[in-house]
Amino acid sequence: MPASMTEKNAARLAASVPWVCRGADPFLSYATVQTMGFDAIEHPFPYDLPPDEVLGLLKRHRLQMALIYAPPRYREGERGLACIPGREEEFRHGIETALDYAKRLDCQLMGVLAGDVPPNADRDVCLDTLVDNLRYASDAVDREGIQIIVEPICRQRAPDFILHTLDDAAEVLSRVQSPTVRLCFDTFHIAMERGSVLQEFDSHRDMIGYVQVANTPNRTGPGEGDLDLAFFVDHALKSDWRSWISCEYVHKPESREESFLSWASGFYADGRLAKGL
């Protein structure tokens, strides 16, 4: 695995702003996640403010940007366009926009959403388009020291999405043939595809560049679903995972903000999770 994306020689937690502060203005949520105890965030689409204003918010709240995504037509709910034939120029423009933000925000990870297979489209042609677009994205970011993250999404959430499993995504990465392009490991999507999160993590370990944790079946947090997320984090840390772990789950309104990370206190105490800024 490439060198850690974190500031210290230990893994770090990040808050996925759209999930942790579900329904709130994401930019106003920076203060909230700081109160929760986070010092880093994942903000998929920060493009409603100029990058310098986003940077100002990060500095004000002592936060680091762990991950942003290249923008599809996100205001319309689009789940990416990287696999869609005929939209290559739009994809490239999105990569350039995300690259500009990533550089200004000192963000070292850029997510690329593969997208849905359009109605009546040939899936193999869409896969070829996805591979070509990821090669373009890899070339664009490589000189800046940024990595591309590719995420499968389970069928129950996105039945037409072109990548449903880690094996689907890993096959695409094997065609792209770039160390700059890595897998996103999301416990929710893995488990919803009937995969064992521990086995899937171990078998794809060398290709994973980013971890997201959420419980099934409702994207809740540790102790609130079918998965033992603390046990998974312990397993990942024991396997020498030293990069980002994003909390991409819903914060229960009745819970105090200060207690949001209580499940992780032991990992901080033994030094396997670190604070950055």
Please state the separation of Cα 57 from the chain's center in Å: 20
Cα 38 to Cα 14, 116, 248, distances in angstroms: 6, 33, 13
Domain-wise residue ranges, the chain: 12-269
pLDDT confidence of residue 77: 87
Provide the token pair at 74: 């996100």
Tell me the pTM: 0.94
β-sheet bridge partners, residue 67: 42
Q: Which CATH superfamily is domain 12-269 in?
A: Divalent-metal-dependent TIM barrel enzymes (3.20.20.150)
Number of CB atoms found within 10 A of residue 225's CB: 19
Per-residue pLDDT of the chain (277 residues), as tens digits, is 333 444 457 899 999 999 999 999 999 999 999 999 999 999 999 999 999 999 999 999 999 999 999 999 998 989 999 999 999 999 999 999 999 999 999 999 999 999 999 999 999 999 999 999 999 999 999 989 999 999 999 999 999 999 999 999 999 999 999 999 999 999 999 999 998 999 999 999 999 999 999 999 999 999 999 999 999 999 999 999 999 999 999 977 655 666 789 999 999 999 999 988 5
Which DSSP state fits 4? P
Q: Give the span between the Cα atoms of 109 and 34, in whole angstroms.
A: 21
Percent of residues in the chain assigned helix, strand, coil, to nearest 5: 40, 15, 45
pLDDT confidence of residue 256: 63
Number of CB atoms found within 10 A of residue 8's CB: 13
Q: What is the Rg, in whole angstroms, of the alpha carbon atoms belonging to the chain?
A: 18
pLDDT confidence of residue 253: 63
